Amino acid sequence: MKRLPWTAIAITALIALLALLAPWLGLPNPVTMDVPNRLAGPTAAHWLGQDEFGRDVLTRLIWGARVSLSVAASAAALACVIGTALGITGGYIRGVAEILTLRAIDVLLCFPPLLLALLVVTLLGPGAATLIPVLALVYLPGFTRVAYAGVLTARSQDYVEAMRVLGAGSPRIMLRTILPNIGGPILVQFSLAMAAAVVLESGLSFLGLGVVPPAPSWGLMIAAARATMAQAPLLLLWPCLALTLTVLVMNALCDGLRDAVDPHPTYRPAHRRVLEAIAPGLLPTPKAVLDLRHLTVEIQTQAGPIRPVRDVSLQVFPGETLAIVGESGSGKSVTSLAITGLLPGAARVAQGAAFLDGTDLLRLPEDSLRTLRGDKIAMVFQDPGSSLNPVHRIGAQIAEAIQAHRPVSDTAARSEAIALLRRVGLPDPESRARAYPHELSGGQRQRVMIAIAIANQPRLLIADEPTTALDVTIQAQVLDLLNDLKTERGLALLFITHALPVVAEIADRVAVMYAGEIVETGPTAAVFLTPHHPYTQALLRSAPDEEGPPPEGIQGVVPSPGALPAGCTFAPRCPRAIAACTAAPPALRASGDARLTRCIRWNEP
Amino acid sequence: MITTENLGKSFPLGGWFARRPLHAVRDVSISVARGETLGLVGESGSGKSTVGRLMLGLMPATTGRVMFEGQDLATTGAAALRTLRRRLQLVFQDPYASLDPRRAIGAQIADALVIHRLMDKAGRIERVADLLEQVGLAPEHAARYPHQFSGGQRQRIGIARALASGPDFLVADEPVSALDVSVQAQVLALLASLRAQLGLAMLFISHDLPVVRHLCDRVAVMYLGRIMEEGPVREVFANPIHPYTRALLSAAPSLHPERRRARLLLQGDPPSPADPPSGCVFRTRCPIAGPDCATTIPPLTGTSHRVACLKA
């Protein structure tokens, strides 16, 4: 739970307390007239002056709050209870219940709220007792729709189905499981309705349809003050001020509550640019397409900065596939986002350089980086469904990618798009180019994403879990395609994945990441055959293979980047750890032919 | 213990006027004995999750029936079915979505005990503590909320919840596919030891063949709602007969690519379940399909190792 909006809560409580305690505050009677002193200005006895019948304005304001607020609160509460019940029932049971509740509410929504209120008041007669059901009726649809929308989202969640599996009945599921999970939006809706009801109550009383004189209410006070506006303009000011203050505080309370209920942590945005401080003598390795040096990424959190990626260096050469493999939280995706300049706002590159053919990507202005993305660097992501625009034909999306970087005519771009679709193996490319993304299967959409990625002859292709969402027979096709493209076009392929067998199939070299660092790197075959780092060894033992012994898990969990252990980050889970392991962080050292390992004991028996 | 006979499920598709059925599951006859684990393997859209839901009685079957200890789930009344739920449980795929984020996990594990009025409050607290220990967590974890646990720990909690009412049959719907590989192995080992300890019958739904190879006794391969091949795990993996099983096994990436069987790469994508091919549903991607495959639906034949293929 985050910080509550204490200021707004305090002012709301003060207003409520004043209204509640009005009879005991020692105020004059709000209906006692003092006609000789009518419209008198503020005095010591009457701080805010006297109204057209000489009644004390402060008293009437406080007593008016009592009426206005209690009417608004009861109306909002009534609307909240009935509306939420209707919404949950309609949304959970569906069918006839949905038609009865939701459609009825939709009809109600068609009436302008003021007209609806006027209609009911005319039928039932004015008075505070009528006002409550009237206002409740006006705000009912809001609650129903909010609850209904919440239920539709919640009912498809696994934890709701889990309750059904356990044998729970519908009432139990609605009350115990769904209601608490849609409570946040309903709470906010309640504060909004309450603020709006205060205003509408005043409006109706002003029109003479609400509270009946001489009982005080803010609406009546405004109505009366309007008549004597020329003689005593201040009289109009007080109730309006009270009304404005109440509504503002209510809105502040809504906003604060909404933020407090939202479980997502808030991050302060960081400066995007890298510090210019950089180690001297840093020059790109010749021939490497991508040369990443000492990359460290920092995220500002409320508990201080955390570093999800630390000192990561790697090179990718033309016609080569480098796989970064790691479990969730290893920093593999953050690394790729940093290279492409697509880090989320809260994260920034704290140190390092990323040379693409000699240009440091991390120090390029955003405009230049944007022209590089989709041109020299291309990306393929895990979910092909959300990466394509659903309302454009796929041929047009490929053509657009071409024309964004090269001045070619529409017809040329179109025929190039079809050639690309043919290259990535989409059957019948001429007619499929006119298809929309939803008409394609997951595997076909991923082929389209690859077509877009290679459209401008990129030097570097970053593929972040490109086959994770695909079925195994389709995965095999896509891996073959990526492999062919790499050889045929001399692409440097940076392949990010958590699946070790996929790495074994596709990568020439592999970098194993753990808790934000590279722990081992080298040629894939050698690393998989004789892993040097205990983490790589454990990871390989935990991967099920068709032959061989049953998989073994690794005890413990990956440390969070906010609470890294001292020394070697893997030491707490490592079966070979000794005291020296926790003393100092181990360096990434050469451990054989083209291999590096971050372990002080890799060559000990 | 639990048997399906020619089980079928179709969902209505399209609007009010152009309604046509989508056959998610067709003619599935499988059985799971006490203490046995049947792996149900297939790609997305093959209907494997629907079979799991049907076997738990969570949705009514369109054709055929599910028999649990000789009792037809379809003719069991709603109240009796709710009581039966105690003995039929489900472990979900996504450990993040399957726990209610607003309630302490101890209360969620105890839900089944409350619903079925199995124990008093003190008994429940004790049972929750036992269950937590059984899945490798500490009793004091009961008061914590789901977000305080990692994915693997949440999946353990999901398993504890499913075990609370003492079920006899457990459906595990891709229980490890959302987990990291090092955690996946821990959860698989837990399922294997619980199965041995409690004598559970289990239906293990998965798309991951090596996992099935290690955990299951028998395996059934589904494609577009039908069973293509079914038999003992060792036998099916060593000697796959159906061309789809062969393609599936050869497509799975291996840690040792040099040892992998010759790749039988399937062309194209699976057809839409709404519009399956006539005859054998696999024939459009099958390397050995002949003209008779388009006209005849191949029956699942054999005794212990069954195959649905005319050419096998």
**Shortest CB distance from A159 goes to which of B99, B188, B266?**
B99
The closest of A322, A325, A331 to A499, measured between CA atoms, is A325
State both tokens at A29.
């009677």
Chain B residue with CA closest to A181: the answer is B102
Which residues in chain A touch residue B52, judged by CB atoms under 8 angstroms apart? none
pLDDT in the model for residue A277:
43
Q: Is the pLDDT of residue A416 over 80?
A: yes
pLDDT in the model for residue B31:
93
pLDDT in the model for residue B102:
84
Q: Is the pLDDT of residue B274 over 60?
A: yes
Chain A residue with CA closest to B108: the answer is A163
3-state class (DSSP) for residue A347: strand
Q: Distance, in angstroms, between A349 CA and closest chain B CA?
A: 27
Q: Which domain holds residue B293?
A: 2-307
We report the CATH number of the domain holding residue B245 as 3.40.50.300
pLDDT in the model for residue A598:
94
DSSP string over A283-305: -PPTT-SEEEEEEEEEEEETTEE
Per-residue confidence band for A262, with pLDDT thresholds at 50, 70 and 90: low
Between CA A493 and CA A503 the distance in angstroms is: 12
pLDDT in the model for residue A295:
93
Mutate to test the interface with A, among B255, B260, B275, B284 (most CBs of A within 10 A): B255
Chain A residue with CA closest to B167: the answer is A166
Hey, how many other C-beta atoms are within 10 angstroms of the C-beta on B80?
12
Chain A residue with CA closest to B90: the answer is A165
Mean per-residue pLDDT for A358-368?
A: 85
Mean per-residue pLDDT for A62-72?
A: 86
Which residues in chain A touch residue B101, judged by CB atoms under 8 angstroms apart? 159, 181, 263
Give every CB contact of residue A537 below 8 A, 6+ residues apart in sequence: A531
Q: Which residues of A90-117 are buried (b: 16+ CB within 10 A; e: fewer)?
A: bbbeeeeeeeebbeebeeeeeeebeebb
Instruction: Specify whether the CB–CB gap between A556 and A538 falls below 8 A.
Output: no
Give every CB contact of residue A207 below 8 A, 6+ residues apart in sequence: A118, A223
Q: Which residue has the higher pLDDT, B142 or A33?
A: B142
pLDDT in the model for residue A283:
60
pLDDT digits (tens, 9 = 90+) for B97-138: 889 888 899 999 999 899 888 888 999 999 999 999 988 888
Tell me, yes or no, whether B106 lies in a domain: yes
pLDDT digits (tens, 9 = 90+) for A515-561: 999 999 999 999 999 999 999 999 999 888 877 788 888 888 788 88
B268 touches chain A (CB under 8 A): yes
Between CA A425 and CA B268 the distance in angstroms is: 9
How many domains does the structure of chain B reveal? 1
pLDDT digits (tens, 9 = 90+) for A550-599: 888 888 878 888 888 989 999 999 988 999 999 999 999 998 888 999 99
Tell me, yes or no, whether B76 lies in a domain: yes
Per-residue confidence band for B17, with pLDDT thresholds at 50, 70 and 90: low
Which residues in chain B touch residue A443, judged by CB atoms under 8 angstroms apart? 269
Can the peptide bond before residue A214 be classed as cis, meaning omega within 30 degrees of 0?
yes
Q: Average per-residue pLDDT in chain A? A: 85
The closest of B27, B84, B39 to B58, measured between CA atoms, is B84
Domains and CATH numbers, chain A: 56-261 (1.10.3720.10), 290-507 (3.40.50.300)
Helices (H), chain B: 48-55, 78-84, 105-115, 121-134, 151-163, 181-198, 209-215, 233-238, 243-251
pLDDT in the model for residue A413:
93
Tell me, yes or no, whether B312 lies in a domain: no
Name residues 167-186 of chain B within 8 A of A (Cβ).
Answer: 180-186
Between CA A206 and CA A220 the distance in angstroms is: 5
pLDDT in the model for residue A476:
87
* Chain-chain contact of B254 with A163 (C-beta, under 8 angstroms): no
Q: Is the pLDDT of residue A276 over 50?
A: no
* Chain-chain contact of B251 with A475 (C-beta, under 8 angstroms): yes
Between CA A186 and CA A258 the distance in angstroms is: 10
B116 touches chain A (CB under 8 A): yes
Q: Distance, in angstroms, between B297 CA and closest chain A CA?
A: 23
Tell me, yes or no, whether B127 lies in a domain: yes
Farthest CA pair distance, chain A:
106
Q: Distance, in angstroms, between A551 CA and closest chain B CA?
A: 6
Distance set, CA B289 to CA B172, B242, B271 (Å): 34, 11, 16
Radius of gyration, alpha carbons of chain A: 34
pLDDT in the model for residue A518:
95
Q: Is A68 exposed, middle or buried (0-12, 13-18, 19+ CB in 10 A)?
A: buried
Q: Is the pLDDT of residue B169 over 50?
A: yes
B110 touches chain A (CB under 8 A): no
Which residues in chain A touch residue B151, judged by CB atoms under 8 angstroms apart? 328
Distance set, CA A568 to CA A173, A564, A601, B200 (Å): 47, 9, 11, 42
pLDDT in the model for residue B259:
67
Between CA A431 and CA A326 the distance in angstroms is: 40
* Chain-chain contact of A545 with B256 (C-beta, under 8 angstroms): yes
Q: Distance, in angstroms, between B37 CA and closest chain A CA?
A: 16
pLDDT in the model for residue A235:
85
pTM of the model as a whole: 0.79
B77 touches chain A (CB under 8 A): no
**Shortest CB distance from A158 goes to which of B92, B182, B270?**
B92
Between CA B45 and CA B25 the distance in angstroms is: 10
The closest of A377, A344, A374 to A359, measured between CA atoms, is A377
Tell me, yes or no, whether B63 lies in a domain: yes
pLDDT in the model for residue A147:
92
Q: Distance, in angstroms, between A34 CA and closest chain B CA?
A: 58
* Chain-chain contact of A263 with B101 (C-beta, under 8 angstroms): yes
Instruction: Specify whether the CB–CB gap between B311 and B290 falls below 8 A.
Output: yes
Instruction: Specify whether the CB–CB gap between A531 and A495 falls below 8 A.
Output: no
Instruction: Specify whether the CB–CB gap between A467 and A475 falls below 8 A.
Output: yes
Per-residue confidence band for A261, with pLDDT thresholds at 50, 70 and 90: low
Tell me, yes or no, whether B28 lies in a domain: yes
pLDDT in the model for residue A1:
47
* Chain-chain contact of B255 with A159 (C-beta, under 8 angstroms): no
Mutate to test the interface with B, among A161, A332, A473 (most CBs of B within 10 A): A473
Instruction: Specify whether the CB–CB gap between A235 and A225 falls below 8 A.
Output: yes
Mutate to test the interface with A, among B182, B184, B236, B258 (most CBs of A within 10 A): B182
pLDDT in the model for residue B118:
86
* Chain-chain contact of B111 with A166 (C-beta, under 8 angstroms): yes
Residues forming a β-bridge with A521: A511, A596
Q: Which residue has the higher pLDDT, A277 or B262?
A: B262
Per-residue confidence band for A414, with pLDDT thresholds at 50, 70 and 90: very high
The closest of A366, A312, A306 to A335, measured between CA atoms, is A312
pLDDT digits (tens, 9 = 90+) for A380-407: 888 777 778 888 899 999 998 899 888 9
* Chain-chain contact of A159 with B265 (C-beta, under 8 angstroms): no
% pLDDT > 90, chain A: 27
Q: Is the pLDDT of residue A274 over 60?
A: no
pLDDT digits (tens, 9 = 90+) for A279-303: 444 566 668 899 998 999 998 887 7
Mean per-residue pLDDT for B238-266?
A: 83
pLDDT in the model for residue A271:
45
* Chain-chain contact of B85 with A165 (C-beta, under 8 angstroms): yes
Tell me, yes or no, whether B94 lies in a domain: yes
The closest of A381, A76, A393, A419 to A250, measured between CA atoms, is A76
DSSP string over A382-435: S-HHHHS-TTS-HHHHHHHHHHTTS---HHHHHHHHHHHHHHTT-SSHHHHTT-
Which residues in chain B touch residue A539, judged by CB atoms under 8 angstroms apart? 181-182
Give every CB contact of residue B289 below 8 A, 6+ residues apart in sequence: B280, B282, B283, B311
pLDDT digits (tens, 9 = 90+) for A146-177: 999 988 888 878 888 888 888 888 888 888 88
Question: What does chain A come to in residues?
Answer: 605
* Chain-chain contact of A476 with B253 (C-beta, under 8 angstroms): yes
Q: Is the pLDDT of residue B78 over 50?
A: yes
pLDDT digits (tens, 9 = 90+) for B178-216: 888 888 888 898 999 989 899 999 999 998 888 999 999
Q: Is the pLDDT of residue A76 over 50?
A: yes
